[in-house]
Structure 1
């Protein structure tokens, strides 16, 4: 089936076609770029919510409860769950379809597990693109749940309109989160499993830590207690997320945040394409093995060798050739 046909079927509501489009995008397939180009004008309408926190705090259970609440309100939901990678297959080890079985047959919910594939930032490299596909497909709310890697999760701030930090009582998570820099990116805080340990103390700790970082403008991040397994407090937490969106809209910050995201997206693509082109020129130039040997013998340091390769690749006639435009490809 052609890419155009897949796009048409996905926009008409086919989950199978949507899954195939996401696979093309996630795998870095050349057709995936065509998919993103076709869908880009339709994206930018969904609420993007990043959910992060240490392992075992109940992020998936919370997202499950929020999804149920949103569906009762008539909204459609996309879930991008970023899981650790299998060292053998590169695929996701944890299956969020297993953890969210209640929604597996709901046509208004689409769940996609993605692998980090060794990426250190908590988000899989194609996460933003997958969220864009779901956005263009018409889902009202998209949750981006990151792998619980702790200190590396700060990059979720660039993926969502609202970032939710999930913690639990009794494990010193608040202090650890402060050390990791996570406290600075949260726009709403959830203390889950509030029926265990001293939840009130954890709320007080988070509130105190937030007061030590007052440079947040007029928004004061709420701290909400929940017991996600019984959906206790989960609607209050969802209300806090929705309040943050209203705040962004009222102050013109949502558009600014999304413009910043597009700017970062352009830079990410430039970085990726420039790296690929430079490495291709370097490999074809045949100098890499020679310089590696000189570095091994101590005649050069790695930085100087890299500078030589970059200088040579920049001076190569092939580096000045721009790739054919889409119009040229079609002519």
Structure 2
């Protein structure tokens, strides 16, 4: 038996290894037989604890446990952590916190999607470019259902299976994913652009012009800081979706906009500011743009369409779809293919301009 008496100690000491871990201490007994009995008790207690731990680990993971672990490992540090948190809470509440992830079926997912499709959300009503107190209740879109329920649940279950070794049910996700409308490609014509700038307050002009030249998303535009600009390399580092950063070149026209506003010290302050010298927000820029479009008589043009405007003009000037994809930072050029109709239009116009061959009579 692995017991012995330390020098100067009246009691026996136990010292052994269990599952690769060393355990040592006093048995509390001076009699060897009693000490051996105590050591056996300690070993049996460790075996029971180990068996209980294995039993606990083998218990089916619930959706509440899976969501909590996903939040700790992924969601909490994500740029869209608020949206992820909302989705996880919604999923756990509607599936039931004690629902084992191995027992989630297509029927459960279908019921969850149906519940989410029935939710209402209220949108602010715009009157003469200003938000009224009245709000319009509408059912949420298919894309919102996909992003807020189907996609996060699928990510949680995939991580549970691939990273945690858990058993999950077989779900036919393709059946549950709702069809989303193809993203429209609306861009501003030269005439529309001129009409908008004629009524848009002048302090918004630099930001809007920069958006058209750079193809930045509105959130990326408003998040620009002076420290993001490398003047020697003529590069700007953009923080985009998923908190990903990517460099894009500064053109001469973009530099012409930024240079007069450049501060003496390259501090990490926002580039774009309003009339009160406060950081320009997405909300204020969007409201000003919507109001300008209404006053200019431009219908169906959103702030995000300035990105489409940039892509369309670059494609028309270069005919290079990959170059447009590079500027817009699309991970797959197939995402950029929605702009290909621009080349079709140019081709059609060129074909229409062709003179028919005169056949001698």
Query: TM-score category by the smaller chain?
Result: under 0.3
Under a length normalisation based on structure 1, what TM-score does the superposition of the two structures give? Answer: 0.22
* Higher RCO (Cα < 8 Å, 6 or more apart): 1
